[in-house]
Amino acid sequence: MGRTKSIVRVSAFGILFAMNLGCFENKKNDHNDQTTGLLALLSINPTLGNYVYYNGTPNYPGGTYTAAGNVAVGEYNITNSLITRYDYDTGYGASHLYGEVQEVDLNRQVVYVRFRSDSTYSAGDYAWYRWTYNGGYLYICPDLSGVSNQTTLAAAKASNVDYYSDPTNINTGCGLNSGFSPTVWSRLQSK
C-alpha cells in the first residue's frame, strides 16, 4: 500500500509540476514552456522500476506450466522508453523480451511496445502490457493475443485489451481467449 501512495504522490507532483510550467512567461513567448510541460506530463508512467516477478497472488498454488505465487520466475525493468522482461529457466528455457515503449495509455492502464530484434521471440512485432493494482501489489499482464500478427502499432492498439485480460481475476485473468489457456497476471515486487 505504501508503494501505491508513493506512486500517487509522485504522479500528482508530476502533473502539478507540468501544469505549473505554463504559469511562467518567458521573454520570447515562444511556447517552449508549454511543450516542456506536455513532455513532462507524457513521461509519467506509474509502472517504472526494477522488479522480480511472481505468478499471481502470493498464495497462488501454481499450475501445470506455472510456478506457485511464492516462487520468483523472472524480472522486469521498466523505464519510460523500454520494458525488459527476463524469464528465468524454470524448465522451459530462459528468455528476454525488449519492448521499446511506443505509447502509454494511462486511462486503460496499457503500455504499447515494439519488440527489438534482440528479443528471444516476437522480434519486430508490437504488443501491449496491461497493469493493475490488487491487494497492494502491482500486476502486469503481457499481450498473449496473437503478437505475431501485430506488425504495426495500430494492430496492437486494435487488440481488445479488455477481451484478453481481466484485472479483477489475477490468478486466471491474463491471456483470455488467446488460444492459450488463461493464465496468471505477473506480480511485480521491487528488487
Domain ranges of the chain: 49-190
- pTM, rounded to two decimals: 0.75
How many Å apart are CA 34 and CA 55, to the nearest integer?
42
Across the chain, mean pLDDT equals: 79
- Looking at per-residue confidence, does 40 or 72 come out higher? 72
The predicted pLDDT at position 5 comes to 40
Name the β-bridge partners of 188.
Answer: 53, 138
DSSP 60: -
Give the contacts of 72 (CB within 8 A, at least 6 positions apart): 52, 53, 54, 88
Give the lowest-confidence range in 6-15, 114-123, 126-135.
6-15
Q: Where does residue 190 rank: exposed (0-12), middle (13-18), buried (19+ CB within 10 A)? A: exposed
- Looking at per-residue confidence, does 43 or 168 come out higher? 168
Q: How far is CA 122 from CA 12, 103, 128, in A?
A: 35, 18, 12
Task: Reply yes or no on whether the pLDDT at 17 is more than 60.
Answer: no
% of the chain with per-residue pLDDT over 90: 56
Whose CA is closest to 141, among 123, 122, 116, 167?
167
Give the lowest-confidence range in 9-23, 68-82, 121-135.
9-23
Query: Distance of alpha carbon 48 from its chain centroid, rounded?
Result: 9
pLDDT per position as a tens digit, 51-62: 999 999 999 999
